[in-house]
Amino acid sequence: MKNHNYNVELFDKKGFVRKKCEKCGQYFWTLDLDRKTCGDSPCDKYSFIGNPITKKKYSYKEMVKTFLEFFEKHGHAPIKRYPVNARRWRSDILLTIASIAAFQPWVTKGVVEPIKNPLVVAQPCIRLNDIDNVGRTGRHLTCFTMGGHHAFNRENNEIYWTDKTVELCFDFMRELGIEEKSITFIESWWEGGGNAGPCYEVISHGVELATLVFMEYEKIGKDYKEMSLKIVDTGYGIERFVWASHGTSTVYDAVFGNIIEKLKEHSTVEGDIWNIEERIIEESATLAGLMDIENVGDLRILRNKVAKKLNMDVNELDRLLSPLENIYAIADHTRCLAFMFGDGIVPSNVKEGYLARLLIRKTLRYMNKVGITLSLGEIVELQLEDLKDVYPDLLEMKDYTLDVIKEEEKKYIQTIDRGKSIVERLIKSKREISLEELIELYDSKGLPPEVVEDIVKEVGKGVKVNIPDNFYTLVAERHENKKSEEECYIENKKELPIPNGYIKKTQLLFYENPKIKEFEGKILKIIDDYVILDRTIFYPEGGGQRYDIGTLNDREVVEVQKRDDVVYHKLSSVKGLKEGDLVKGVINWEHRINLMRNHTATHIINAAAQRILGKHVWQSGSNVESDKARLDITHYKRISREELKKIEELANKIVLDGIPIKSTFMDRNEAEQKYGFKIYQGGVVPGNILRIVDIEGIDVEACGGTHCENTLEVGYIKILKTERIQDGVERLEYTSGLNSVREVSSMEDILLASSGILGVPIENLPKTVKRFFNEWKEQKKTIEELQRKIGEYKKYQISNNFEKVGKYNLLVEKIGGNPKELMAIADNLAKDNSMVVLLNSDGYILCKRGDAVDIDMVTLLRKIGKGGGKNNMAQGKCTEDVDTIKKKLKEILE
RNA sequence: GGGCUGGUAGAUCAGUCUGGGAGAUCGCCGCAUUGGCUAUGCGGAGGCCGCGGGUUCAAAUCCCGCCCAGUCCA
């Protein structure tokens, strides 16, 4: 497979030669006959720093514009960028990691036609794998823009392939003013996501600027199968081009120049640090360029190398470089956050929301290290200002972005504060914090060991903290071990029977008219208890909506499922039915209309929540049953009572407005173009044709469920409760139509029952309950007080009843009162060499002794009853009467 | 989705492992000292020990379920 011929027309035409790199052994193409190495780092070192390779300096905005315009001029249709939140349209990755991700899986699989062909896009992408390198290597970014021009070639529709791709790339670089001779095309091979193909890495002055991939194989196991759709997948590093056009030491200086300046201004580290000599930064960036940096260990190696090269003390170098690197990282991370929140990601303890939270916390830690006096929100605001020309949509989400950041910042500060007091308490009596404790602090309190170390330094006392280099690996391993135990659990998913032979897909009558209540159909197949018809009005379970129930020829339909467009009706009995029969089906209309109301209510509530809470609100799951329904939405705070009332009111207003609901089938591209990604509220929908449910002007979703035809049919929507099912996801539970009326009635029943018991009108309930509760508390106290007094009183009554037994004073009495009361009395009487045994009418017994008595009360008690306690006091149960006890005790004591 | 930690006075927490009379500090109130504030001393109020069930003679403590909060991992 890898013996692909990499020669293209351009190479012949211009006189490129194919060479083998002296250092890495890779083959490459160049116009420079003297060249011996491939041009990429680490074989060649950066030669553009201080020496820009383009004819002018490009800002980020200009570079995006130049890129798009160049390819538009050469026959490509520019398309809008996709969200960085890839889960808007696919469920296999969290974040958009490349421009091609926008076309996976449907377009790349050939199911859906690309909206334009060929096309060009400047796609913001996020990759967090190298996050610890950001700021330090001079070239790593968490958030970068991949310029991609793509062509999708079919047998009968060839757009272009290698020849033109390489030529376009070459021409684009020339247009920027990059010297022809400096450009090398390295032969390489790309594999990923089940696809593979040859590719070129395009290099100039030691930096890889673009990758040209030709996806033409499907990888199945170890074999390669040619694809019917061949895809040109290119990636131009827009920020890399900007960097090369500036020739600054790092990509950050070129892209985030003004933000870096602001950060320096608002930092409290000593001023002289920012006067760091440019050559130090250059040297570090250049050496970093020559290394493959993968972890913290590599970064330490880099530091040592730089120090050696500059003949500096490594600690001094670190003191000078670290603050700057932190600022670089802050500049990078805040841009990433602007995109994440701008595209509606909600912080959470799961998935992409967790990544956002991690990034915020990392950024806050960096800010803390260099003492940034701006808030995180203020920095992100600067980013938004910077980006507003290219991405005005991010600015639209500003309110949400800033508020969610404030909220997260608050949470983090709380965590750290809590952590501080925990650590302080922990080290009070210690010399050292053990690894076990460090892991515990990180795992369950969210305190990274570095933060623990800082806190310990602050409060001092010479407590030792040893952080192993592989700390995070240790944490991960610990989780691994636990997982293997859980894997024993196997999900017990219900399987449909597999028919032998082909079955025609079932005609779904409920899509043609959702209000048909009965129909006739022909039995195509009977397998076990399942019946398959040529057509049906029974809605099979799907899209969160429950299946219909009803009858087929008077036999009960107990379950309806769907697989591969075939509907399976499970009957209570298939006796007497045979294939080919015509049967009459009737659905339980009450059940169905409830489902329709609830499903439409779900769309309405989603729309209402988005309007009340913000555009970041997105459905993350739903469940529509006949009696009630629930909807999970992304939101970063608990929904307050006030907000809930507003959502409910708006939902009901939408109902009362009597808005028509239209369900139509639509081409996927058309739907996306017309309505945007918000149609995928219900999750990823397969296929090229989508069913679009449109509540005019309110909500549009791709949805296969059965719906009302007008919002009026939904009736009264009552939200029953909200629940936080995970961080960042709120669950709303609600009813519609008559069910709502019943719910309200039953709430009223509760109120009436309560007010009946108290004998007050409903509106006085809170006041009265509060009064009763307070009185109850007060009376409880009064009772305790009285018990104490009774104890005093009884003490005098019985204090004369002591008997001398052996060397002890013994008192055995049965008196009324609860354990507490008896305790109070005994406290008063059991002094010195006295022993008190008190009983009450419930069989409770208490033995108490004075300090001079040398008998264990527990042992004593167990001789006359059962129970336990302490040396000087024991309590338990005893059914004997006073005289018997006395007798027994005397025997023991004398 | 899974794991871990926590929920005790207005606040911060101890007590939970090993069941047996609910505690500390701060804050609050009162009194004393003062021209008044602060400081100090003495006294006091303040607890459905998250909710529900179980085990037990006995549960803040052990077991199960739920709610709430925090946190880590994929």
**Residue A276: predicted pLDDT:** 80
Considering only CA atoms, name the residue closest to the C1' of nucleotide B20.
Answer: A869
**Residue A567: predicted pLDDT:** 94
Residues A572 and A673 both lie in one domain: no
Which of A241, A251, A207, A262 lies closest to A57 in space, CA to CA?
A241
Q: Is the CB of A867 under 7 A from strand B?
A: yes
List of E strands, A607-679: 619-624, 629-634, 661-667
State whether the Cα torsion A167-A173-A176-A180 is positive or negative: negative
**Residue A234: predicted pLDDT:** 97
What does the alpha-carbon distance between residue A251 and residue A48 come to, in Å, rounded to a whole number?
A: 12
Asked if residue A599 belongs to a known ligand binding site, the reply is: yes
**Count of domains observed in chain A:** 5
Residue–nucleotide distance: A459 CA to B34 C1' (Å): 38
Q: How many residues does chain A have?
A: 894
Whether A280 and A321 have beta carbons less than 8 Å apart is answered as yes
Low-confidence stretches of chain A (pLDDT < 50) are 482-493
Residues A110 and A205 both lie in one domain: yes
Answer with the one of A587, A614, A649 that is the final residue of a domain. Answer: A587
What does the alpha-carbon distance between residue A800 and residue A495 come to, in Å, rounded to a whole number?
A: 82
**Residue A842: predicted pLDDT:** 84
Range of the domain at A582: 507-587
What does the alpha-carbon distance between residue A430 and residue A229 come to, in Å, rounded to a whole number?
A: 66
Asked if residue A703 belongs to a known ligand binding site, the reply is: yes
How many CB atoms within 10 Å of residue A357? 22
**Residue A778: predicted pLDDT:** 87
**Residue A522: predicted pLDDT:** 95
Residues A117 and A242 both lie in one domain: yes
Answer with the one of A587, A607, A636 that is the final residue of a domain. Answer: A587
Residues A887 and A816 both lie in one domain: yes
User: Which nucleotide is closest to the Cα of A866 by its C1'?
Assistant: B57
**Residue A648: predicted pLDDT:** 96
CATH code (residue A71): 3.30.930.10
Residues A659 and A738 both lie in one domain: yes
C-beta within 7 A of nucleic chain B, residues 480-499 of A:
482-483, 486
Q: Is the CB of A436 under 7 A from strand B?
A: no
A355 alpha-carbon distance from chain centroid: 7
CATH code (residue A873): 3.10.310.40
Residue A366 lies in a domain: no
Helix (H) or strand (E) holding A78: strand A77-78
Residue A395 lies in a domain: no
**Residue A1: predicted pLDDT:** 58
In chain B, which nucleotides are within 7 Å of a protein Cβ?
A: 1-5, 12-14, 20-22, 45-48, 57-58, 67-74
Residue A308 lies in a domain: no
Residue–nucleotide distance: A459 CA to B48 C1' (Å): 39
Residues A737 and A855 both lie in one domain: no
Whether A557 and A493 have beta carbons less than 8 Å apart is answered as no
Asked if residue A569 belongs to a known ligand binding site, the reply is: no
Residues A600 and A680 both lie in one domain: yes
Residues A621 and A573 both lie in one domain: no
Q: Copy the structure tokens of residue A152.
A: 């999708």
**Residue A481: predicted pLDDT:** 53
Residues A581 and A612 both lie in one domain: no
Q: How far is CA A361 from CA A142, A335, A354, A448, A584, in A?
A: 15, 14, 11, 10, 62
C-beta within 7 A of nucleic chain B, residues 800-829 of A:
820, 823-824, 826-827
What does the alpha-carbon distance between residue A188 and residue A207 come to, in Å, rounded to a whole number?
A: 16
CATH code (residue A723): 3.30.980.10
Residues A95 and A200 both lie in one domain: yes
Residue A550 lies in a domain: yes
Residue A162 lies in a domain: yes
Residues A446 and A521 both lie in one domain: no
Residue A232 lies in a domain: yes
Side-chain half-sphere CA neighbours of A723 within 13 A: 10
**Residue A194: predicted pLDDT:** 80
Torsion of CA A316, A317, A318, A321, to 10 degrees: 130
User: Which nucleotide is closest to the Cα of A358 by its C1'?
Assistant: B72
Type of residue found at A854: D
Answer with the one of A546, A561, A587 that is the final residue of a domain. Answer: A587
Q: Is the CB of A662 under 7 A from strand B?
A: no
Asked if residue A603 belongs to a known ligand binding site, the reply is: yes
**Residue A429: predicted pLDDT:** 67
How many CB atoms within 10 Å of residue A750? 9
**Residue A4: predicted pLDDT:** 86
This complex has an ipTM of 0.87
Residue–nucleotide distance: A877 CA to B53 C1' (Å): 24
Residues A641 and A684 both lie in one domain: yes
